[in-house]
Structure 1
Amino acid sequence: MKNKSLYISIAILLFISSSFSQEKKTYAVNTIAFYNLENLFDTINDPNINDEDFIYTPENYKDKLQKLERVISQLGTGTDQKNSPVVLGVAEVENRQVLEDLCKQPILAAKGYAVIHFDSPDKRGIDTGFLYQKGHFQPTSYKNYALIVTEDETDKKAKDKVKVEDTDDNVVDIKTKRIYTRDQILMTGLLEGEEMHFIVSHWPSRRGGEKRSSPLREAAAALNKKIIDSLQIINPNAKIFTMGDLNDGPFNKSVKQVLGAKGDEKEVQPLGLYNPAEKLMNKGIGTLAYRDSWDFFDQIIISEPLLRKDYSTWRYWKAGVYNAPFMIQQTGQYKGYALRNGALGPGYSDHFPSYIYLIKEAKK
């Protein structure tokens, strides 16, 4: 199938002979995104995981899939871009089948979405994965990396003492003290002929309190950085996207210090990482709210080569959060929050998805 990029005209300023001139060029655009699907479970009780509280009725399962289809099909679209994400990282899915069912929804099926997924050891049964449009992206390899972390006694005391309004628990093996959490998935492939690397992860939760649980997310960030480093050893110019529900914001230690992600493009050195979420959060934009405070857990962080100003190949353009009115709670205690699952049935998600645009000069 021949790829058909969507084109737009963008006015850009070019430096020519130490003077400024404005030239109008034509660019192709693609969207990369991440979305926490909030407990996308099926209708079957799996005896191997703790899914009893999250099983959907057939009616609610159908409703949930239709709601997610609506969001994904519109995610990243607008005046600048007509297509939904060509690569979408996802979190809080029970298994591969729920992603397959999501891809079978009519609008998504018409776009040719396919699935990359691995089962994680998370005791609640939630995994991460990718959806991608086969007409634009072709995976060449994919692998999962286990995050091995343990709980010490201070963690246990904090967990018992501090309660958080979140169903995502850090389940501990009584004998080994290992905390069973999500794997990190690396998917490499060709985005319209150009090699790209995508990492999706869902870092350990804040159960027990943000400060007490921070070492768990710092360990997740260290694993993430190890994967990135391994790619950059092979190719220092590798175009890498690491995305996920990090359960930390762009200013937390795990992101700022362990990953070393910068919020200013000018500060990003070769082999460095840029985090667009930092500027968005400084503008008051977030992906989830807790106790009337917004944070930005759902981040897409990119490697330095995507910032270079040679638009003959895919480059970063801009970032955003998709929070259409239909995805927002309109009444009650949580007015203004993301419209999550509730007693009356499925919502969309308790997180808003984030996205970035890539652009490339179109061939004439």
Structure 2
Amino acid sequence: MCQTITLILLLSTCPLLSQSNNDNSYSVLFYNVENLFDCKNDSLKNDEEFLYNGDKRWSHNRMYKKLTDVSKTILASNGWNAPALIGLCEIENEWVIKQLIYNTGLSSLKYNYIHFECDDHRGIDVALLFKREVFTPLLSAPIKLSEPGSEFFTRDALYVKGVIATDTIHLVINHWPSKRGGSLQSTHKRTRVAQGITAHIDSIKQIETNPKLMIIGDFNAEYTSDVLQSFITKNDIESQLKPNDISNHRIGGSYKYQGQWSLIDHIFLSKNWLENRNYNISHRIVSLPFLLEDDLTFSGVKPYRTYVGPRYNGGVSDHLPVLLNIKRLPPPNH
């Protein structure tokens, strides 16, 4: 059951604000990590396939290999400077998050996390990892998107407000309904979720003028799709990374299905923030060699996924991460 709205006033971390003030640049990563499950049976979740005797023959060895690979991806994603903020989706629970940040190569980077356990039937949630010395959370809450009365059930989003590099930002981490059953047949589900997120953004705008919005996640929708174009317009947000920017590249998106790349993992910023000349912002897909394998069926390469159907493939994820770098520029006369 999701927790109610939780106010996080971290008075003990207030000195961290002065530390972040000295650094005017930071990076944000979003990564769908493809079913990061523990090996325990949770009677409240449909997680039976990720057990020792489940369809996928999940095991501690496979789980810890995946944890190591995800940590390696995070560490290598931005050169020598690991991301300050990391949005994750397809995380089963708090326990696997703790394993990731405390028992892998991430342990020395002092990441903390924000996560709400929700009642998704498969038990996959979204979460935020953040560097404690850089980001100060002020408020966090799940965004309930299911409508039980209408039998519409979907994953919650995660809202976090906080301070980083003197900026107060409003972050929403998303994992929109998949295209299972067909893209057109499932569009209405993503449309309903988009409406729920828009309502939450509207509530922010009623309190704060020109808020710095950062809307990230796996939207299961291309930038050019009707549902995402409507969402972008209604919320006055924009992405610096568009399909045309990568159409001629070897890596043509964040996800590949039946030989076709698609960009469905996005990082959107408030348009007034993205267009602010006081900021230098860059956005790219992270395509490290160990995240890819040869596409023997359709040619080229594809994400090196953990499973192909029920078959263990040994890779990291079926998605590639997306990365945003933000730098506040000094005043012109500085």
Question: What is the rounded CA distance, in whole Å, between the counterparts of 2:78 and 2:270 in structure 1?
Answer: 21
Match of 2:170 in 1: 197
Match of 2:270 in 1: 303
- State whether structure 2 residue 302 is matched by structure 1 residue 337: yes
Structure ID, larger Rg: 1
Match of 1:272 among 221, 232, 236: 236
Question: What is the rounded CA distance, in whole Å, between the counterparts of 1:254 and 1:283 in structure 2?
Answer: 25
Q: 1:235 to 1:282 in 2, by over 3 A?
A: farther
Moved more, 333-342 or 62-71: 333-342
Match of 1:57 among 50, 55, 59: 59
The code of the aligned residue for 2:91 comes to: V
Report the CA distance between 1:357 and its aligned residue.
1.0
Match of 1:36 in 2: 32
Moved more, 329-338 or 117-126: 329-338
- State whether structure 2 residue 154 is matched by structure 1 residue 181: yes
Match of 1:320 in 2: 284
Question: What is the rounded CA distance, in whole Å, between the counterparts of 2:265 and 2:143 in structure 1?
Answer: 20
Report the CA distance between 1:4 and its aligned residue.
6.6
Match of 1:3 in 2: 19
Question: What is the rounded CA distance, in whole Å, between the counterparts of 1:294 and 1:190 in structure 2?
Answer: 35
Native 8 Å contact 1:5 1:29 kept in 2: no
Structure 1: 5+ residue stretches without partners: 8-27, 151-175, 262-270
- State whether structure 2 residue 205 is matched by structure 1 residue 232: yes
Report the CA distance between 1:121 and its aligned residue.
2.2
Give the percent of matched residue pairs that are identical in Structure 1 and Structure 2: 26
Match of 1:102 in 2: 100
Report the CA distance between 1:361 and its aligned residue.
2.5
Native 8 Å contact 1:281 1:296 kept in 2: no
* Aligned pairs (5 A) from 1:105-124: 105-124=103-122
CA root-mean-square deviation: 2.3
Q: Please report the TM-score for the alignment, with normalisation by the length of structure 2.
A: 0.84
Match of 2:258 in 1: 291
Q: Please report the TM-score for the alignment, with normalisation by the length of structure 1.
A: 0.77
Structure 2: 5+ residue stretches without partners: 1-15, 52-57
Match of 2:183 among 192, 204, 210: 210
Question: What is the rounded CA distance, in whole Å, between the counterparts of 1:259 and 1:212 in structure 2?
Answer: 21
- State whether structure 2 residue 316 is matched by structure 1 residue 351: no
Question: What is the rounded CA distance, in whole Å, between the counterparts of 2:236 and 2:280 in structure 1?
Answer: 14
The code of the aligned residue for 1:121 comes to: D
Native 8 Å contact 1:69 1:105 kept in 2: no
* Aligned pairs (5 A) from 1:53-92: 53-55=49-51, 56-77=58-79, 82-92=80-90
Q: 1:70 to 1:6 in 2, by over 3 A?
A: farther
Report the CA distance between 1:59 and its aligned residue.
0.8
Native 8 Å contact 2:215 2:268 kept in 1: yes
Moved more, 327-336 or 221-230: 327-336
Q: 1:309 to 1:179 in 2, by over 3 A?
A: closer
Q: 1:53 to 1:138 in 2, by over 3 A?
A: same
- Where relative contact order (Cα < 8 A, 6+ residues apart) is larger, the structure is 2
Question: What is the rounded CA distance, in whole Å, between the counterparts of 1:354 and 1:182 in structure 2?
Answer: 21
Match of 2:124 in 1: 126
* Large movers: runs of 4+ above 2 Å: 1-7, 279-285, 307-311, 330-335, 342-346, 361-364
The code of the aligned residue for 2:324 comes to: I
Report the CA distance between 1:53 and its aligned residue.
1.1
Report the CA distance between 1:332 and its aligned residue.
3.5
Question: What is the rounded CA distance, in whole Å, between the counterparts of 2:83 and 2:154 in structure 1?
Answer: 27
Native 8 Å contact 2:205 2:211 kept in 1: yes
Q: 1:205 to 1:344 in 2, by over 3 A?
A: closer
Report the CA distance between 1:305 and its aligned residue.
3.0
Report the CA distance between 1:281 and its aligned residue.
4.6
Please state whether the residue corresponding to 2:48 is helix, strand or coil. coil
